[in-house]
Chain A
Amino acid sequence: MNNKNNKNDKNDRMQDLRVDIGGGLQLKNPVMTASGTFGYGREFESFADLDNLGAIVVKGISLRPRPGNPPPRIVETACGMLNAIGLENVGLEAFIKDKLPYLKGHKCPLIVNVLGDSIEEYRHLAAGLDQEEGISALELNISCPNVKKGGVAFGSQPGLAEELTSTVRQATSLPLIVKLSPNVSDIGAMARAAEAGGANAVSLINTLIGMAIDIRLRRPVLANITGGLSGPAIKPVALRMVWQAADAVRIPVIGIGGISTWQDAMEFILAGASAIQVGTANFFNPASVDEIQAGIRRYMRENNIDQLQNLIGAAKGGK
């Protein structure tokens, strides 16, 4: 694989995979990792080339450490999985002390996903991270379905989403991405609310709420009862929502949802995504981010595309 890449180096230089995701942040390629599926980067150093990623989005950080939900937390479903991790994370202080130094040592932009129970908590997080070097952007998680309060209300009410975004906007000069939930009736309205609040980009979709029942024990499999569905099973839904969000806003849209192959990534880009995030695929194929990037490059070469940017939203025809 490596040899093949080297041989094609000369050719590869002709493909420009750079994309802009708002707030002046340009990525060298559109392949990012989705929050909560790539740990804090180090977990994947044996499998993927971290320096070569478009960006790393790390596991969501809250002001204080969170233990997460009781087990069982995950279950496999047809072409997908349900999770109810409950935002287990090390908290802001430990993230800065223990995780950030390693991540700063890499060449790819670092995007920190943040989450809170209140607007005030989000503001504190943004202000705290704004002080740190080596962070390229923040992604506001307003869409986690697995915690009892907070997240999900911001993610389903446009007014609250706008208020939250504009408050955080004032606390940091970093580019702001707002990660949207698919568990809403009008995704366009949510994307517009984030844009109105001053977001530089929206990313979507987070997981779809689902559940599974153990027919032997006759009770829900997950201790949390419901969980977030992810994986290839949700890709068509995600693609539709990215298409709609791209129509609704002028800021860049980052596509997420079941992306497992380079073909999936290209569908999202053609639907209007300026970049994509790989999530669940990291679990079953930890090298998938590298493979997806190589595939996009090959597709461009074979189709004589010099600049990936020209393909963003190309499936929309004359838009």
Chain B
Amino acid sequence: MIQVKRQIILNESLGADIYRLSIQAPEIAAAAQAGQFIMVKAGMGFDPLLRRPFSIHQVEGDEIRILFKRLGKGTALLSKLNAGERLDILGPLGNAFTLKQPPCCLIGGGMGVAPLLFLAQTMLSRGITPHILLGARNKEELMAFLPAFQALGCPLQYATDDGSMGQRGFIIEALPPLLAKDNKVKWQVYSCGPYPMMRAVAAICHSKWPCQVSMETMMACGISACLGCTVTARNTNEKGGQYLHVCQDGPVFAADRIEWKS
């Protein structure tokens, strides 16, 4: 991991307040693995104070890309950045998804789809074609990230909460039928999305199919100094620890390691 100030190549508005930011960062691009994240300083001042964590969405040559939605002060500042400006970033941080034998299913919702594109590309480069399930609030949000996934040519299903595009409802409903298609097949499930979605994915997969989830929490540093990015572990570990740290032990966890809260 390194701290660098690197040039922005492109900051694209994709609709629905969603942006794709491309940064020229050869050192990070060369080292990055699907599932890892970077910490980005938004703005030069003390408000917002802390860096923001973003999953690496795509690596293209020397470029890394992140996908974000304008929600608060930090993302509002990031949305206004132009090509040529420099961004202070730390990365790559955290662990990566573990690639397993196919068949593989990737299920993501909202901005949680970000690391799944990089994961799908990594799988394709190793000869694995994943089955991709994507969820969004509505057509506008879905269209912000869907084309990048469609370009991969993998089997793809999608749903929107309001039914404005694809299946109406939560994409999670498409998971059990897919996994149940052939009982002899050992699916590997990879998920990133809103907490209730990952909790539902974990419940569906529990004790039947191996499942990896990418967790998000508030995070001050990203380098295991603040100890703020905790999630509760299902079983206390060998050291008697009850908590997992997203930046150090994750962000990718076996879904069964997490104590999911209702």
Contact = CB atoms under 8 A, between A and B. Distances in A.
A236 to B, nearest CB: 13
Nearest to A223: B230
B3 A287 contact: yes
Nearest to B230: A71
B221 A282 contact: yes
Contact of B50 (A37, A43, A70, A76): A76
B231 A43 contact: no
Contacts of A71: 217, 230-232, 243
B46 A79 contact: yes
Contacts of A38: 225
Nearest to A37: B225
A280 B221 CA distance: 9
Interface residues of A, number: 36
A43 B223 contact: yes
Contact of A78 (B47, B51, B229, B241): B47
B220 interface: yes
Q: Which of A39, A231, A283 neighbours the largest number of chain B CB atoms within 10 Å of its CB?
A: A283
Contacts of B47: 78-79
A85 B229 CA distance: 10
Contact of A73 (B1, B90, B230, B240): B230
B226 interface: yes
Contacts of B242: 67
A227 B157 CA distance: 44
B49 A88 contact: no
A75 interface: yes
Interface string B22-50: 00000000000000000001000011111
A78 to B, nearest CB: 6
A85 B226 contact: yes
Interface string A18-62: 000000000000000000111100011011000000000001000
Nearest to B41: A284
A39 B225 contact: yes
Q: Which of B225, B229, B242, B243 neighbours the largest number of chain A CB atoms within 10 Å of its CB?
A: B225
A260 interface: yes
B199 to A, nearest CB: 15
B181 interface: no
B49 A79 contact: yes
A36 B232 CA distance: 21
A74 B217 CA distance: 9
Interface of A: 36-39, 43-44, 46-47, 59, 65, 67-68, 70-76, 78-81, 83, 85, 88, 231-232, 260, 280, 282-287
